[in-house]
Amino acid sequence: MAGIVSIVGRPNVGKSTLFNRLTGRREAIVDDTPGVTRDRIYAPAEWLNHSFTIVDTGGYTEGSDDSFEAEIRKQARLAIEEAHVIIFVTDGREGLTPLDEEVAELIRRSKKPHILAVNKIDSPSDDFAISEFLKLGFKDTFPVSAINGHGTGDLLDKVISYL
């Protein structure tokens, strides 16, 4: 598949909500491509005449023997592997956590184009909340609200610039 945009991040930061927003809340489809892991959801998206596929990484697999953190790391690694562009989601209300830093390191090491979406910034007057995330050193960092769409246009402009 061409133009795979993977949404990556620890649980509860709003990945699935962002996925629904960016895909226009179309029903998610499960991809039939061999080798594509089933615990991820794929849906088509379009922005300014660019078509691409967005991937939501489901939290963790039930019944897995891995620890919670190990499972999240594994999920992130798989999603990063198949991505052309990575949207890394964090929670702007909770702030930066050690697990965020771990996922950030996996993303850095991939050397793939990546964009940090600091989510749950529901009002532009709270955009300053991205400041503590700037120390991750990511070139592209955007305040967004998956719930109301704040900042998602700028995010998508950046996504398609990397496709």
Binding window for ligand GDP (CB under 6 A); candidates: 6-14, 33-41, 62-70, 78-86: 6-14
How do 50-57 and 40-47 pair as beta strands?
antiparallel
Detail the DSSP E strand segments found in the chain.
Answer: 4-8, 40-47, 50-57, 85-91, 114-119, 141-143
Q: Does 16 contact Mg ion by CB under 5 A?
A: yes
65 is in an annotated binding site: no
Task: List the one residue from 104, 145, 152, 160 that touches ligand GDP (CB under 6 A).
Answer: 145
Give the C-alpha separation, 133 to 141, whole Å.
8
Closer residue to ligand GDP, CB minimum distance, 17 or 110: 17
When binding is defined by CB under 6 A, the residue of 114, 122, 151, 160 that contacts ligand GDP is 122
SS3 content of the chain, % helix, strand, coil (to 5): 35, 25, 40
Residues that bind ligand GDP (CB under 6 A): 9, 11-17, 59, 119-120, 122, 145-147
Residues that bind Mg ion (CB under 5 A): 15-16
Feature table: binding site: 9-16, 56-60, 119-122
